[in-house]
Structures are given as C-alpha cells and as structure tokens.
Amino acid sequence: MGTLAGQVALITGGGRGIGAETAKLLAQHGATVALVARTREQLEATAAQIRDAGGTAYWFVADVSDEGAMREVVQSAFGITHNIDILVNNAGFIQSVGAIENSDPTAWWRTLEGNLKGLYLTTRLVLPSMLEQGRGQIVNVLSIAGARAFAGLSAYSCAKAAGLMFTRILAKEVRKRGVRVMAILPGAVDTAIWGEGENIPDREKMIRPQTVAQTILQMLLLPPDATVDELLLLPQEGIL
C-alpha cells in the first residue's frame, strides 16, 4: 500500500463520523492532518486519538460557511504545516427535512448554504497553493442524494447536486495543472446526521464510516496516471 508521508491533509467535518475516520486513517498512512469542525470537544477527542496512535494532528474550530473564520483557519494551517497537499471537503448537515410545500425558508437556505458555501469557500482558500506547487488532491464527500431524488430532502439534495457539478467543473479547470479533484457519493452511512427519527433506515444495513474512509484513502493513493472522477458507494443492499 502507498504512503502519504510528508503530506498535509485538511479535513472539514473532522470531529466525528466520516471526517474523523478519514483523519485517523490518513494519519496512519503518514499524513499530518488538520481538522476543522464546529465542536471543540469532538475535535480534541479525534486529535487525541490520532496523537495517541503516533500521528500528527492539529484542529481548528470554525463554521465552514463563515468566510472570515475559514480564512483564519487556512492561514493558521499554512503557518503550522507550510503546505496543504490534500483537501477533504466533508462538512455537512441537514437542517431542513420535509415536503417543499411545508418547508421553512430559513432552514432550507441554511441547509443549502452550510453544505455548498462551505465546500466552495474551503476549496477557494486552499486551491491557489495547490496550483502554485503544481500538485494536490481534493476529495469532495457528497451524497447519493445529489444524484437521486429523495422526497423530503430537497435542500440537502440540491446542495449535494450542486456540489457534484462544482466538482466536475473544478476538475475540468485544474486537472491539467496537477490537481486531482474527485467526488465520492455515499449512500446511507451510519453517522449522527440521521438523528433519532422514526423513519431512519436500518443502521445495521448502512455503510460504516470506516468503509467510506478506506475508500477515500484508496482514491488518494491512486497512481498519478489515473483519477476517480466520481464514485458511487452504496450499502450492499443498495439504496435503503
């Protein structure tokens, strides 16, 4: 298996779930990881686990949709690590659930903004350094909801669909300049994003966050003569 030794990975939504598992795995393979999330306690816990296992981790509390906060995060990360070779845009949440006719406009737009604006801002802040050094990898963690229609998830689905088009356009713009841009669209993953509602699919049938992390690692370790543009990762039984 390849190695990420000497590389720095910035991971949003890195305090728990897919982000935390990805951070742990990349650190195991030699990467220095910088974690970004809104909850300090989760960040501290994940970073401590990485350090206890012999890895190197830094963490920053920020909302990825806050441009000023993210600018400070990226500047601080560069100040510590001097470069960012890998960006995993994983942060996301669902605040608006239900039929469009009954939706709350504030929650709807907040869901769209939190998922799409953060993806754009973080990429926009990190990308120039990758282009300057002529290399880098960006993995956007999206969702099957960005490629299939799910009733009741209009805001989240629209954000993830827009994120997929953003990924496609970015890849077209920078692929000949040494930056590899990839998207992974998982189906149901057993994370806290589901909450405790009654209509949740059987968690035992969901993908484990560690499985998504392993897939992201494999994408990052691809030889330079290939790329994964978009990868659909579903539970064994398909869409739950």
What pLDDT, on the 0 to 100 scale, is given for residue 97? 83
CB 141 within 8 A of CB 212: yes
- What global pTM score does this model have? 0.93
Find the farthest-apart pair of alpha carbons in the chain and give their distance in angstroms, rounded: 51
Say how many domains are in the chain: 1
pLDDT in tens, 170-187: 999 999 999 999 999 999
Which one of the listed residues 59, 60, 156, 166 is annotated catalytic?
A: 156
Q: Please report, as a single letter, which amino acid is at residue 28.
A: Q
156 labelled catalytic: yes
pLDDT attached to residue 1: 45
Question: Residue 24 belongs to what domain range?
Answer: 8-233
Is residue 202 domain-resident? yes
Q: Is residue 228 part of a domain?
A: yes
- Answer yes or no: is 1 within a domain: no
**CA-to-CA distance for 19 and 1, rounded, in angstroms?**
21
Residue 186 lies in a domain: yes
Euclidean distance between CA atoms 83 and 115, whole angstroms: 25
What digits encode the pLDDT tens for the residues 106-122?
A: 999 999 988 999 999 99
Q: Is residue 212 part of a domain?
A: yes
Q: Considering the domain boundaries, does residue 238 fall inside one?
A: no
Report d(CA 83, CA 9) in Å as an integer.
9
Determine the Cα–Cα distance for residues 225 and 66; give it in Å rounded to an integer. 36
The answer as to whether 2 is a domain residue is no
Let me know if residue 240 belongs to a domain: no
Instruction: Per residue of the chain (240 residues), give pLDDT as tens.
Output: 458 999 999 999 999 999 999 999 999 999 999 999 999 999 999 999 999 999 999 999 999 999 999 999 999 999 999 999 999 999 987 877 889 999 999 999 999 988 999 999 999 999 999 999 999 999 999 999 999 999 989 999 999 999 999 999 999 999 999 999 999 999 999 887 666 556 677 778 889 999 999 999 999 999 999 999 999 999 988 886
Kindly report the CATH number assigned to the domain that includes residue 201.
3.40.50.720
